[in-house]
Structure formats: structure tokens, C-alpha cells
Structure 1
Amino acid sequence: MAPAQPAGRADRELPWTSLPPALTPLLVPHLPEVAEELLDAVRLDVPVYARPLEGVFGDSIRRGVEVALTRFLQLPGTQQPALMGDDRRVYEGLGRGEVREGRPMDALFAAYRSGARTTLRSLSRVAMDAGFEASVLIGLAESVFAYIEELSAASAEGYALEQSERAGERDRLLDALADMLIRGHVVEDSVRSAAAAAGWPVPERVVVVTLDADRRVGLRSRLGDRALLTSRPGDVVAVIPEPASPTACREMERVLMGRGAVIGPGRPWYAAPDSLRLAVMTRDLLQRDEPAGNRPLWVSEHLVELVLNSERSVVEDLAAQRLAPLDELRPGQRERLGATLLCWLEHHGQRAAMAAELNIHEQTVGYRVNQLREVFGESLNDARTRFELELVLRAGFR
């Protein structure tokens, strides 16, 4: 038995407690005709339910009406809640069904209101014909609308649960799709089937972004539905359609600002592993001492450094060959001449530009260049030698 409640509160929350139990046997025989009137009214009042009540859709609507009316007529004179157990699950199921049908809750709520009006009109007519007083009719009206509120609440809960579960399932599908792409799953039919199941349009080209694992919070919502996210040990990986314009690039920078992100080069979707490989290589090879608030690092802006650092031992061998003439110099002199040589190569020997960059007088520039010619001799006249010298000096060798 339900615990006793103050009369005022019980009357306010459960208005059917004041209804005479004699209403139930009086109204039960009329349920079939009330149900048909209700269904006809809903089809007329709510256009989305105007279609024939067939299949799963028709079964669920008829079942909802049957359960609603049967349960309601069990309530007069009791303190029972509007819905219990299986009955409540019926209306949660109707809410879930609206999500599956792709509709907002407005239509179902409108159907409940229409059904309440029809039910009240039909039941009130029977009660009046039986001689019940106006106070009973008022209590009946209060009970019907309180009952409909409970049905609406149960359906709203089912709707929310279905949305939540679907969002979680979609996130799982998107994560799995991201994992397929970055692992190099190149069976196109499989990828496109997985993308269709996740509701993700496959772009022609993508960029792959890597960032620290602790920077994932809030990233999915900021990147939007077109981004795929997955986690790996130590980092988070995002697969994103390649930005198609400078504006789109700036927007991506804004979203990734301060997250320590490295953005791989654009590749066809089936070559996403290559974009990831270069992003990771760039992250590992380039020392990043920038503050956390700085812009993300674009691999496309560091291709030379990537080339120079990807085979460091080979560049070391080349540096040993090309910079051997400096080996006999004192460390300070070697450093100065190395910087002057790189500046000379970059500015094609223009003394004014070299003096400005090195912050020395033009005569000093001339003196150092003469020293370089003495050290390197005729090799500075060879285009290939100059290219290799610039390459190893840009790689940081002196």
C-alpha cells in the first residue's frame, strides 16, 4: 500500500483518488468505441498520423491507445501512480519511435492532447448519462489531463534515451571509421559502408591531425560532425576533410589553437595513413618550444626541415664532406664563417642584404667572403656544391 499523504497534496498530484470507483465498471464497456473515436480524432488533428495504421507504426499506436485507456480506468478511487512497469515502457517506446521516424516530439504531444480531449468528451458523456454530478465531471477532467501529462513525460524520457543511445552509437561508429582510415583499410566498399552507417560523407581528400591525449576534451564539438576522432596510446588523432580555402584553414587553426596540434598534409582519403605518418614525423623531429597558446604546426610549412631531418645520418655524412674545409679553424671562427656562408648563399652574394642580416659592416662582409673563398677555393663556383652547402647549413650544421 502506498504511504499516506496529506489530503491536499494527494488530491493535487493524484486527482483520480477523488473519483468514485463505480466509474470503472460503468466506463469499461465503452472502451472500444472511445478508442476508435480517439484514433479518428488524432488522424484528423495531427497530419503526420493521418496515414493508415498498418505495420509496426499502426501496432504501436493502437497498443498505446489500448494501454492508455485500460490503465486510466484502473485508477479511479486509488492512489496508484499513472503508469507502472510495462505500461510505462509502452510510452517510453512511443517516444523512442518518434526518434526512429525522424520526428520531433511535437507531433506525439499534439496526439496526446487530441486524445485527451476526445477521451474526456466521450467519458463525460457516459458519466452524465449515468447521472453523476458536476463535481465528478470536473474530477474526471483533472484526472484525464494529469494522466496525459504522465504519458507525455514517459514518452519524452524515451525520446531522450533513444537520442542519447544513438549519439553514443554514432560516436562509436565514427571512432571505428577513423581507426579504419588511419590503419590503411583501403577496401573502398568496406570504408564506404562504414561511413554510411556512421552518417559520415566520405570526402575526396583529408588531413590527419595528431595532438596530445589530454587535449581531446571538447574537441569533437569544436571540430564538428565532419571530423573523425580516435585515440591511440599517448595521442589523439583527427581525420578531417582537407580545408578548401584560406578561410577554412584559418578556422581550423582557430579550433586547434593551443592544443599542440600537428596537421598532416592533404591526401586522398585512402592515403590518410601517409598524412598521419608525416604529422607524427614532424612532431617527433621538430623541437616545439612554443607556448601552449600558439597556432598548430602545419606539415606543409615545414617540408624542407622534414626532408633534412628524416635521414639525419645521411645529412651528417654530407655535412662532413662539404664542411671539411672549416675543420682547421677555431670554433668561433668556424661559427662566424658558417653563418656568413649560409647568408651568402641565401642572398646570392648581395653584400648590403648580408650586412643587414648579420648586423655587420659591408666591409666586414667582404673580408669574410674573401676568407670563405680562400678556405673553399673554386668549389664555391660549382652550383651543386653550393646547393649541398646550403642544405647542410640549413640543417643546422656549422
Structure 2
Amino acid sequence: MTTARTTTRTARPRPAGEQDHRRLATAARARLPELVRAAVGAITGGVGPVDAPAVTAVEAAVLAGIDAVFADAPTPAAARAVLKGVGAQERRAGRGLERVESAARLASRAVWRRLTAIAGELRVPPVVMVSTVDALFAFTDDLVDAAREGHDSVTEPSDPRRAELLALLVTPGPVSDLERRAADARWPLPERVVAVVSDLPFRVEPGELDPRILANTDRETTCLLVPADVELPQELAQELARGRDTRFAAGLPMPVAEAHRSVEYGRRLLDLVERGSLPPARLTRGCDHLVTLLTAADGGLLRWIREDNLGPLAQLSEGRRAKLLTTLALWLRHDGDAREVAKRVQLHPQSVRYRVQQVKDLLGDQALEGEKRFLLQLALCTRTRGR
């Protein structure tokens, strides 16, 4: 859904120190293998092994960079074509551009370090290096833009295997041969996924989303699966809504084989929004509303916990009960720090201790210890949320 940048940067201003500039350029071309080794080593260490075709591409990019940086020339069309091809290849393999972008940045920094060392040997003035580094990183940006153009240019046909895999994963039940099915669907298998569900059907066009997102592009759908490590921006939901009043919810991250559980949490979030228990939003994220999800899981059990742990306070007047509950909640939150609680309720610390003792007298001395303490906190938390 990104817009390709089709313009190529124009020639950079020629740096100061013309003679030193030419000496550095000549030395860089003469030591091209050294620069390539540095770039490949950086990519291998930061991204992963580099195969022979990739080494050839790196060598071409480094040579093109020397020409562009030291000859005041635009990024060569041939170099852009190579990177466009790399971007397209990544898209066809079902990957985003993260690896390409990381490789380009790592290689650029490695080449810069080697150029700095060469400049030191030649005693090239720092002013020349300042303009050189600006040009080098501008060239790197050009290559990344070219890769992005290639990535965005690939229009993938609808693949029924991805739709079949999505349907299988969002349905409760065992999933057999998951790795093989994911490979057949050209879906890079993540460790965990987040289900994004909607209250109205929406359409995903082939090639519209990051290929790491599993979606049905054959027909309208109400669910897609997003790897847990992929950022899910609000703008995605806005764009998928196509101007309609569609609401989306992102369930909790789950192992891929349990993706249906993330779907269930997403549906529960939409229901909570519909009932007014959560504020309306284009995209509601489960990780932002864990307590609400918990308290909605079993209302009957939570009511019993509240009655069992707070029931003795029902005999008090409403005003006195409210004061004790407020003090108790703060006491638990601040681990019994009477001075901190006193600041919050504008009382003397001794008055806070007196109120807490009243609670103990009503609920029992063990009410603030161990499991009883946890249940008491749960009862107070769900009470303040109107559960």
C-alpha cells in the first residue's frame, strides 16, 4: 500500500578539494574487491549468508556507488534495475523489504568505514569526506527506493492456497503439515500471529498487503492473520474499510496453530465495543484491554468473587463503604505504603492505617495475604470497571 517513488536523485554538488576527490575515487576503484568484501561481510553478519548472485549484485552496487559518488552522476540506471529486480524477487518470495533495507544500510556503513581508512592513508582532508558521506548515503537511499519500486510493482495473482490455509487456521481444531501448507501457500511461517477481525466484510486486493499477512484475496472476508512482529498501524484498518463504517479488532498474539483463539479474542473485543464496554475505535487492540477481556470472560464467576471477598462491606453505609474501598485499593496498589496512600486521599497516614484495620476487622486478618490478596485485588478492579 506504499506509493513507489519513481524519481531518481539528480547529480550531487561536486565536493571541495577536486584533486583529493579524484585521488580518493581512483583509490576506491583500485580497491574495489576490498570494499566489496567489507560490504558482504557486514551483510553476512547482520542479515545472513550471501549467495553468489547476491555477491555479484553487491559488487555491481559498490562499483555504481563509486561512479555516482565520485563522478557527480545520478545513480546509474543499471544499478537501479538490479535493485528493482531484488525488490521484485523478495515480493515473489512472500517477503517484505526489511532484509534488503538492512543489507543496504549495513553495506553502506561498511564501505564508508573502508573509504575513511583509505582517505586516512592518502591524507585526504576531512572536508572532502563530509561531502563524500552525504553523497554515499544519498546513493544508498536511491537503491532502497529502487528496491521498493520493484517490490511494489509485483502484482500477485490470487492464490487459493493462502485462502485455504487462512480458513484452516482460524477454525478450531488440529492443523496437520503446517510447515508444508505454509510453504505451498508461500507464506513465511511466523512463530505467533494476531488475528484482525471486522464487524463487516472487507476486500483485500492481491498484492495490496505486506506478503507476510495471510489474507483471502478471492472474496470478501472478515479476518486476516498478521505475524506478531509486524507492526499493525491504525491506517491499515482505515484503508481496508474503504470509506465504510467498518470496525476492526486485533486479538491476542497466539502460536500459529492456535490462531483461532486470537480470532475468538478479536470477536470478543468487537462485542465489547458494540455493548459499550470499550470505547469505539476503528481498530481495537486486545493487548490494550487485557483486564476488560479478563473480566468479560466469566461474568458469573467474577460476581461470585466480588461477593465472596467484598460481601462483608455491604453492611456499611454507601459513603463509608466507598471510603474504605478507595483506601483499600490504593493500599494494595502501593504495597501498604501508608504515606503514599495518605497523599492520594489527603489524610494523615495514621487515618489510612485505621481504615485498613477496619477492613481487616470486616474481612479477616488474612484478607490482605497470599491468594486472598490477589482475589481481593481482582474483585476491586472488576468492581471499578462496572463488572
When normalised by structure 2's length, the TM-score is: 0.47
When normalised by structure 1's length, the TM-score is: 0.46
More helix by share: 1
Larger radius of gyration: 1
Say which structure, 1 or 2, has more relative contact order (CA 8 Å, 6+ apart). 2
